[in-house]
Amino acid sequence: MKLDPLGDLRATRQCGELRASDAGQPVLLLGWVQRRRDLGHLIFLDLRDRTGLAQIVANKQKQPEAHARADQCRSEFVIGVIGAVAKREKPNPALPSGEVEVVAEKIFLLNEARTPPFALEAETSASEETRLRHRYLDLRRPPLLRNLRTRHRVVLAIRRFLDREDFYEIETPFLTRSTPEGARDYLVPSRVHPGHFYALPQSPQLFKQLLMIAGFDRYFQIVRCFRDEDFRADRQAEFTQLDLEMSFIQPEAVFRVVEGVMKFGFAAANIPVQGPFPRLTYAEALARFGTDKPDTRFGLELADVSAVFKAARAALKIELPVHAFVVSGAAAQTSRKQLDAFADFVKQQGGRALYYAKVTDKGVESPLEKTISGRGLDWLQEATKAAAGDLILIVPADPAQVAGAPHGPTTTVIGALRAHVAQELKLIPAGKWNFLWVTDFPLFEWTPTSSGWVSSHHPFTAPADDDLDKLEAEPGKVRSKAYDLVLNGWELGSGSIRIHRQDVQQRIFRVLGLSDEEAKERFGFFLEALTYGTPPHGGIALGIDRIVALLCGEKSLREVIAFPKTAQAQDLMADAPARVSDAQLDELGLTLKPPKKT
């Protein structure tokens, strides 16, 4: 096929922006052929660029040359069109440019295209695997184009806001040492230092603190972070954070800045957000919602009904505390099958059992009657304030949790059930954006597997001033100056006021089981820096991919990342990770062991 050169063809307008008021105007459009319809003497082309579609019409009698070129066009051919905008006889209300079409005078065929492996329409039935293998084609589909445009606008609005608030954006290294965020590091072997490795940053945590020590006062960065985690459905091996840090502040200052970030970022996607956001302590969040990231768009708040089950505890083989929530008006419509499905869900979550009770006009009915008696059921109704027609769902504390982690939360199973029931029974109202700060997290968590304390957030988080003297004696009771930002049940980010005193930092490392030597070996440079006049400081990091996904109404982070990885951390298009040649391994001084049998 004979192709035309681009020469000095320049688009004068964009396809998606043509309107009735443009009728009569000459235009030059450049783009891809979305579709071609051949009516014999008339050929219609839908021409696409990143703004949308424009209809082109080529008339055999009037413009035989343009018609002949249009005849050669196929899907995804790249063409240029010179013509005049004309009002359509039959407008297409589904298209923003649907009132007009371009009558082609000349068509330039700039490139041909193979038939794409899937239709590049808004809706596609192609598997995600096929889409990811040909991501450059997938990205031509309107939803992805729209998502990446939203992402650009949101990130730009955030940058503008932070610039106005006097933050500097400063880059930090990718080739560095391990940063402790609780995941495995991606390691990069050094050729010039055989046997030595860089670690890709799990976050810029230490560097942003070093920038505070350096006196930069207000730092931010929209930055890629790398975490080699076990496969989890909606995690990305590399993801983007808005990372920020400030000096001489209390948490209030971080809250104010982040509320502004959300206000301006969401406004860029036409969603109004108003601060200040409500706050809940960690203890309150667990007691009322059974999670440290509560979705507050719906009720179903938990009630502690342990007193009702005290006597029956042994007979039921359960542990206290026992919690319940009421699904208002759901007694009649919730079938046995649905209740069984909820019970299965509780088991999947590691829970011991699910009990239920239905409040009818005649009183409370429940299979529990045999064990806790009618009086017990009346207490249950009283404790949960359930009314006639309501369903009460009850979950005892998970025994494994109670035994293994004495300070661990005991409401997480019922918390998960609460969210599941809301989803299944469609109790979540649309169009709500419920932001929330969760504060006062415990500084440490007990890990039964390694019988030791680990940081709930990371080891640079400051303990609450009032709890400093409990550090060694009662680590489980020490609260931290950490906070999370939660939106509709999603954790958007975590942050904290940091430890700025070297002596406190050392005490924390000891509680974490790191000897002074080990701490020095891993973080020596940082501990040294702390001794040179570290200002009190703190910050936060927010997940940009998650924020944009929520704004775009997408469930998967992959829908808002141009070139994402699968849940197995693979890039299906570039086929990464991949084997490397023996020569490359030799250069790095590496030999591969045979893969471990699993």
593: left (phi over 0), alpha (psi -120 to 50) or beta: beta
Transcribe 46-80 into DSSP letters: EEEETTEEEEEEEETTT-HHHHHHHHH--TT-EEE
By CB under 6 A, is residue 296 in contact with ligand ASP?
Answer: no
CB 108 within 8 A of CB 9: yes
8 Å CB contact between 243 and 539: yes
**Residue closer to ligand ASP, measured from CB, 269 or 541:** 541
For ligand ASP, which stretch binds (CB under 6 A), given 89-97, 98-106, 164-172, 493-501? 493-501
Minimal CA–CA distance to 2: which of 65, 75, 67, 69? 69
Tell me which of 150, 172, 236, 494 binds ligand ASP, using CB under 6 A.
Answer: 494
Instruction: State which of residues 410, 496, 505, 534 lies at the interface with ligand ASP (CB under 6 A).
Output: 496
* Least distance (Å) between residue 496 CB and ligand ASP: 5
Nearer to ligand ASP, 303 or 497 (CB): 497
Number of residues that bind ligand ASP (CB under 6 A): 9
Tell me how far, at minimum, the Cβ of 166 lies from ligand ASP, in Å. Answer: 19
Q: Is 97 in the site for ligand ASP (CB under 6 A)?
A: no
Contact mark string toward ligand ASP, 516..555, x via CB under 6 A? -----------------------xxx--------------
Nearer to ligand ASP, 77 or 219 (CB): 219
Q: Residues 482, 456: contact at Cβ < 8 Å? A: yes
Under the binding rule (CB under 6 A), the answer on residue 459 touching ligand ASP is no
Closest CB to ligand ASP among 158 and 572?
Answer: 158
Q: Is 456 in the site for ligand ASP (CB under 6 A)?
A: no
Question: Which of 203, 236, 296, 480 is the binder for ligand ASP (CB under 6 A)?
Answer: 203
Q: How far is the CB of 433 from ligand ASP (least distance, A)?
A: 22
CB of 193 to ligand ASP, least distance (A): 27
Question: Contact, 211 vs 260, CB < 8 A?
Answer: no
Q: Is 212 in the site for ligand ASP (CB under 6 A)?
A: no
Q: Site mask, ligand ASP, residues 101-120, x = CB under 6 A?
A: --------------------
Residue with tokens 């940091």: 498
User: For 292-332, what is the HEC assignment?
Assistant: CCCCCCCCCCCEECHHHHCCCHHHHCCEEEEEEEEECCCCC
Q: For the chain, how are helix, strand and coil distributed in percent, rounded to 5?
A: 30, 25, 40
The amino acid occupying position 252 is E
Q: How far is the CB of 500 from ligand ASP (least distance, A)?
A: 14
Specify burial of residue 338 (Cβ count, 10 A radius: 0-12, 13-18, 19+). middle
Beta strands 52-59 and 100-111 are: parallel
Residue 49 CB, nearest distance to ligand ASP (Å)?
A: 38
CA-based torsion, 153, 158, 161, 166: positive or negative: negative
Asked if 34 interacts with ligand ASP (CB under 6 A), we say no
Number of Cβ within a 10 Å radius of residue 290: 25
Q: Minimum CB separation from ligand ASP for residue 208, in Å?
A: 7
CA distance 436 to 356: 30
Interface ranges with ligand ASP (CB under 6 A): 181, 203, 205, 494-496, 539-541
